[in-house]
Amino acid sequence: MSWLYTFTRRPLAAAVLVTAFMFSMPAHAAQNLETAIMPGRLIEGHAKLEVDCANCHVRMDRAAQPRLCMDCHKPVAADVRSGSGYHGRMRPQECRTCHTEHKGREAKIAAFDQNRFDHAMTDFALRGKHAAVTCAACHRPRVKHSETPAACVNCHRKDDRHKGGLGEKCTGCHDERGWKEARFDHATTHFPLLSGHLRVKCEECHINQRYAGTPAECVSCHRKDDAHKGQFGGRCETCHDSGKWKAPTFSHDIDTRFALRYRHRSVKCESCHRRPPLQEKLATTCASCHRKDDVHKGALGDKCESCHAERGWKGSLFDHNRDARFALRGKHRDTKCASCHKDSGFRDPPPMTCAACHDSDDREKGHRGQLGKQCENCHNERGWRGTSFDHKQSEFPLLGRHAQAQCRQCHTDNRFKDASRDCSSCHTKDDQHKEKLGPRCADCHDARGWKPGRFDHDKTGFRLDGSHAKATCLSCHTVPVKDKFTLTADCGSCHAKDDPHRARFGGRCENCHDSRSWKLPVFDHNQRSRFKLDGAHSKVGCYACHSTAVTDKPVLAVECASCHAKKDDVHFGSYGNQCERCHVAEGWRKIIDGQRNPQPARAAGSGARQP
């Protein structure tokens, strides 16, 4: 009984004794002891976890308990990670601060003071009339507070005067201040309210609370106001707006392709539009209305406007430069009409290409058809002699030294239109790379000269720095290319023979080396890995740990047992794999508490190792 008295009168000593006793006995025995000294029973919801304290606790690590809570309560963990919900917005603290366990099966560890609870900490802040609502009005029994639906219709379906006709997005027109005050913006619909419509009450258009599907045509409300009695169709907005009916906004000159000029202005609408304009598309040719007025009897075709205007039929206003598609310039001004218009009635317009009239001049005195039929590219109406061709207007402007070249140097066979623009077509003999870098000379050179090259290798995916800046192009680009360079940026593609590790550390040489030199590794194991090299580890060679070749980058486990389990563990695994709890990196014999760790003894008659 004396030990029990000490146990109850001196809790600290009892805790030390129990802890030492737990670490000196098997795991299953320690678990039973933990259960025996448990301060109280868990709540009904956690009862199944009571069989093993490790479900919620980690020995010697109280800070691990919130993580274990989050592993089970995943919705709460999601709120904490995203910063949403009540648990995501509250000040970070451990779970047991609010939810204390071991109070018995009937304990309420999730209870809170509803009067002091700040609903703004949740995803549904209480504003307007919601601030005066009791908790029970929204939160139903046996439904988690966090799972209470937030849609308006979940609580206010019976308050919906529209009977669901406008859907369930009540917030489009109403807010928490009350149902009677709507704030709907009609401009968000396909029918914005403008001018006179702003003064109209909702119920004048939306009969019987009908909103969705309300017709937007003018005649649906204004058929009785139509002074045209439907003669011009139902698209009133073509001529009127929502301001006034008596002031039409339609302008025949602007809104149609037929402007009313001179005598057409005095013609009544009904004279031309005998049916609704949107049902009958009138022809805009003169002959459609004035065929009986044609004194030429159709000999000159239907394009009366070529010579006449709306002022009257008498007189001709035809100007070849203004009214025809072929302006008469230069020597064409002195040419007689009959020279081009073989038909005296002008019914068949002559072709407008140079070759149509001057093909014989080209074959007898010119290029004999070698340059095609687009004579205007180099000549004009002033005469055949001389040329006005500007090479800048072509697809190959002459820049740099090309501006000094003569035409025949490139156009050797009088081929102009389809002449090749590739550098190699003229400069194959000038290629110092002997075609090893492909035919796209313009990637590195321009028309100013071959030297110096203007290619900037830094703008590619491979920057030239360090020793790379001194390398020649052909030292890397050893295989001739046909179109563009497709070299890989891997170090091993060029330096496989220089790898002293023989690919043992994979192909990402840049992890340890840079372009200055192979002999100057830049890898810092303490800064760039998860395993700091200290103590005896700082003297170990790379291959001692990295004994297996890798394909990408070395990835080793950081546990001591991954390297020392077989040859160095004198406890034969009886103390687990966390060697660092007792040993340090300076050596196995140096222990954290300064005492030599005893060898585990074998139990008689069994193969189990006991501490």
Q: What pLDDT is stored for residue 345 in this prediction?
A: 56
Q: What are phi and psi of 563, to 5 degrees?
A: -115, -30
- Averaged over 146-173, what is the pLDDT? 83
Report the alpha-carbon angle 176-180-185, nearest 5: 80
Q: What pLDDT is stored for residue 397 in this prediction?
A: 86
Q: What pLDDT is stored for residue 74 in this prediction?
A: 92
Q: What pLDDT is stored for residue 600 in this prediction?
A: 40
31-40, 359-368, 495-504 — which one is most confidently predicted on average? 495-504
Please give the residue that has the higher pLDDT: either 534 or 518. 534
Output the DSSP codes for 86-126. Answer: HHHHSPP--GGGT----S-TT--TT---TTT--GGGSSS--
Q: What is the pLDDT of residues 390-399, one digit of tens each?
A: 788 788 888 8
Q: 466: which 2 tokens?
A: 């360090």
Q: What are phi and psi of 492, to 5 degrees?
A: -65, -20
Q: What pLDDT is stored for residue 86 in this prediction?
A: 87
Instruction: Say yes or no to pLDDT of 15 above 60.
Output: no
d(CA 22, CA 30): 5
Task: Grade residue 593 by pLDDT with cuts at 50, 70 and 90.
Answer: low
In the chain, % of residues over pLDDT 70: 85
- Averaged over 131-157, what is the pLDDT? 87
3-state secondary structure of 546: coil
- Averaged over 452-481, what is the pLDDT? 79
Q: Are 429 and 420 in contact (CB under 8 A)?
A: no
Instruction: Say yes or no to pLDDT of 453 above 50.
Output: yes
Instruction: Say yes or no to pLDDT of 596 above 60.
Output: no
Q: 569: which 2 tokens?
A: 């563990």
Q: What pLDDT is stored for residue 603 in this prediction?
A: 29
Q: What is the pLDDT of residues 555-586, one digit of tens each?
A: 788 888 888 877 888 888 888 888 888 888 88
Pairing of β 587-591 and β 583-584: antiparallel
Report the alpha-carbon angle 594-599-604, nearest 5: 150
The burial of 509, by beta-carbon neighbours within 10 Å (0-12 exposed, 13-18 middle, 19 or more buried), is given as buried
7-11, 32-36, 53-57, 468-472 — which one is most confidently predicted on average? 53-57
In the chain, % of residues over pLDDT 90: 2
d(CA 369, CA 373): 7
Q: What pLDDT is stored for residue 595 in this prediction?
A: 47
Instruction: Say yes or no to pLDDT of 357 above 80.
Output: yes
Report the alpha-carbon angle 98-99-102, nearest 5: 140
Mean pLDDT of all residues in the chain? 78
DSSP 391: G
How far are the Cα atoms of 89, 109, 400, 472 from residue 444, in angstroms, in the given order? 58, 75, 15, 14
- Give residues with Cβ within 8 angstroms of 116, minimum separation 6: none
Q: 546: which 2 tokens?
A: 């990295």
Instruction: Say yes or no to pLDDT of 502 above 50.
Output: yes
Q: What is the pLDDT of residues 233-266, one digit of tens each?
A: 777 877 887 777 777 777 788 878 888 888 888 8
Please give the residue that has the higher pLDDT: either 82 or 307. 82
- Averaged over 268-283, what is the pLDDT? 73
Instruction: Say yes or no to pLDDT of 386 above 80.
Output: no
Please give the residue that has the higher pLDDT: either 119 or 234. 119
d(CA 73, CA 86): 14
- Averaged over 458-477, what is the pLDDT? 81
Instruction: Say yes or no to pLDDT of 7 above 50.
Output: no
d(CA 256, CA 240): 15
Q: Are 490 and 507 in contact (CB under 8 A)?
A: yes
Q: Are 437 and 481 in contact (CB under 8 A)?
A: yes
Output the DSSP codes for 216-282. Answer: --THHHHGGG-TTTTTT-S-GGGT--SS-SSS----HHHHSS----GGGGGS-HHHH-SS-TTT---
Q: What is the pLDDT of residues 52-100, one digit of tens each?
A: 888 888 888 888 888 889 999 999 999 999 988 888 888 888 888 888 8
- Give residues with Cβ within 8 angstroms of 262, minimum separation 6: 309, 310, 311
Task: Output the CA torsion 554→557→560→562 (10° steps).
Answer: -90
d(CA 514, CA 469): 13
Q: What is the pLDDT of residues 220-235, one digit of tens each?
A: 888 888 877 777 777 7
Q: How many residues does the chain have?
A: 611
pTM of the model: 0.33
Q: What pLDDT is stored for residue 1 in this prediction?
A: 37
Output the DSSP codes for 7-47. Answer: HHH-HHHHHHHHHHHHHTS-HHHHHHHHHHT-SSPPPGGGG
- Averaged over 127-139, what is the pLDDT? 87
Task: Grade residue 155 by pLDDT with cuts at 50, 70 and 90.
Answer: confident
Q: What pLDDT is stored for residue 602 in this prediction?
A: 32
How far are the Cα atoms of 22, 498, 608 from residue 31, in angstroms, in the given order? 8, 58, 19
Output the DSSP codes for 282-328. Answer: ---STHHHHGGG-TTTTTT-S-GGGT-BTTBSSS----HHHHSSS--
Instruction: Say yes or no to pLDDT of 604 above 50.
Output: no
Three-class secondary structure assignment of 131-185: HHCCHHHHCCCCCCHHHCCCCCHHHHHHHCCCCCCCCCCHHHCCECCECCCCCCC
42 C-beta neighbours (distance < 10 Å), count? 20
Inter-helix orientation angle 27-36/11-23, to 10°: 150
- Averaged over 267-274, what is the pLDDT? 78
**Across 440-552, where does the E strand assignment appear?**
none
41-50, 401-410, 594-603 — which one is most confidently predicted on average? 41-50
Please give the residue that has the higher pLDDT: either 538 or 367. 538
